[in-house]
Amino acid sequence: MLVATFPVGTLQCNCSIIACPETKEAAVIDPGGDPDEIVNLCKEHGLNVKYLLHTHAHFDHILGSRAVKEKTGAKICLHKGDQWLYDNLAMQCGLFGMKSDTPLPVDNYLNDEEELQIGKLKTKILHTPGHTPGSTCFSLNEHLFAGDTLFKQSIGRTDLWGGSFDEIIASIKNKLFKLDDSTEVIPGHGENTTIWSEKKKNPFVS
């Protein structure tokens, strides 16, 4: 499996590219900005981008989606619980003094516990509400793409639109902490961690 993670956009959202080495089918997780960089990296590796997977619809995770879709034809995927945030991209950006293009329609809704096939890889969708109602994590082999639900020794904000502290704690404890302790967590911002390390050291949930 090929995996690349790099920060994009003004809020340095971690964007990841996951790809099946045999078929070259790929998915981009959280194309939050710098669409040219994302598309060029996919081209360099000869990847056929099938899905744009969004952990949630805060603007810093979806700002590059339109441009990446226009250049790759990939399907825009989001949990239905965040449709209203997605539709209000311009309002979100306005609060940060930024402008945005109108987002393209969502192609596929992400459903809890479903698996998505990317070439010969399978990624499992985990609906983890709390940071936003439609927050979703993606589990792929020994990796977890956690969006803004779980950070290294921290958790996502719950004081924004539709956030819930009780829900994010339940999502982390009941879903993410059920994964293997050795799972590498790739959060939406900042450094990687592991499930084991967060169980021991995260002050919000340990």
Contacting residues toward Zn ion, per CB under 5 A = 58, 60, 148, 188
Query: What number of other Cβ atoms are within 10 A of residue 48's Cβ?
Result: 16
Supply the minimum distance, in Å, between the C-beta of residue 190 and Zn ion: 10
Supply the minimum distance, in Å, between the C-beta of residue 129 and Zn ion: 12
Residue with smaller CB distance to Zn ion, 103 or 188: 188
Supply the minimum distance, in Å, between the C-beta of residue 10 and Zn ion: 11
Answer yes or no: are the C-beta atoms of 148 and 131 closer than 8 Å: yes
Answer yes or no: are the C-beta atoms of 37 and 8 closer than 8 Å: yes
Supply the minimum distance, in Å, between the C-beta of residue 125 and Zn ion: 18
Residue with smaller CB distance to Zn ion, 130 or 188: 188
Helix (H, G, I), strand (E, B) or coil at 123: strand
d(CA 102, CA 184): 34
Residue with smaller CB distance to Zn ion, 4 or 160: 160
Supply the minimum distance, in Å, between the C-beta of residue 123 and Zn ion: 20
| End-to-end C-alpha distance for the chain, whole angstroms | 31
Q: With the CA atoms of 73, 54, 78 and 26 taken in that order, what torsion angle do they form, in degrees rounded to the nearest 10?
A: 40
Residue with smaller CB distance to Zn ion, 8 or 195: 8
Beta bridge partners of 4: 17
What is the residue whose two structure tokens read 């982390």?
172
Residue with smaller CB distance to Zn ion, 25 or 60: 60
d(CA 112, CA 17): 21
Supply the minimum distance, in Å, between the C-beta of residue 22 and Zn ion: 32
Residue with smaller CB distance to Zn ion, 196 or 204: 204
Closest residue to Zn ion, Cβ-based?
A: 58
Answer yes or no: are the C-beta atoms of 186 and 195 closer than 8 Å: no
